[in-house]
Amino acid sequence: MVKRFACMVMTVFLLSVMTGCGATSEQWAYNHEPENKILELVSNGKAEYKGNGYTYTKDDSFIHLKDKSGNTTDIRYVMEGDEMLFYEASAYHREGGSTEDGVYGLWKQNEGKEFFQFNRDGKFSEDNIFFGNYGLDKDAGTIKLMYSDPLQDTILYYTLDGDTITIEYPWRLVRIKTGTDK
């Protein structure tokens, strides 16, 4: 009887170790790099984002990541079928102009290699590669980019703080694993 109980306990223990106690994960990659995981959400509340560990909660609009120091990052997302629009935030700094100009002007980051320029006439340039018209909704905090090239329109979320604009840019993610035991 004791041996049978010990065998049962050992079997349950081994199965738990092998299956991660039933935790499942979602793994996501940029659609242009589908083999490179950037985000993993595990059903036990753990997450990995760009190689860093977090705990997380998720609602219908945001993934809330918390690091070991207690710092939180809220990342907006929208599900579109099997894909996710994942809004990563980046800070850009104003080149010239003044805070009274609002979003109008030239905004740079990464030593000027990446930028947005929003002109008062409703035209924009993104990295001097993509051009088009834009619509500004100050109440919603959004900028709609309508590209001249045959690209899908894009909605950016933005916040202004002096000479810094934080832009949440949507990246399309694809699932690279579903329901995998951890």
Give the separation between CA 59 and CA 47, rounded to whole angstroms.
15
pLDDT, tens digit (0-9, with 9 covering 90-100), for 122-139: 999 999 999 999 999 999
How much is the average pLDDT of 19-35? 85
pLDDT, tens digit (0-9, with 9 covering 90-100), for 141-161: 999 999 999 999 999 999 999
Would you list the domain boundaries of the chain?
Answer: 88-172
Give the separation between CA 123 and CA 97, rounded to whole angstroms.
17
Dihedral Cα 99, 100, 104, 105, nearest 10 deg: -50
Q: How confident is the model at residue 12 (pLDDT cuts 50, 70, 90)?
A: very low
Q: How confident is the model at residue 96 (pLDDT cuts 50, 70, 90)?
A: confident
- Using a cut of 0.85, tell me whether the model's pTM lies above it: no
Give the separation between CA 56 and CA 46, rounded to whole angstroms.
6
With b for 16 or more beta-carbon neighbours within 10 A and e for fewer, the 97-121 pattern comes to: eeeeeebebbbebeeeeebbbbeee
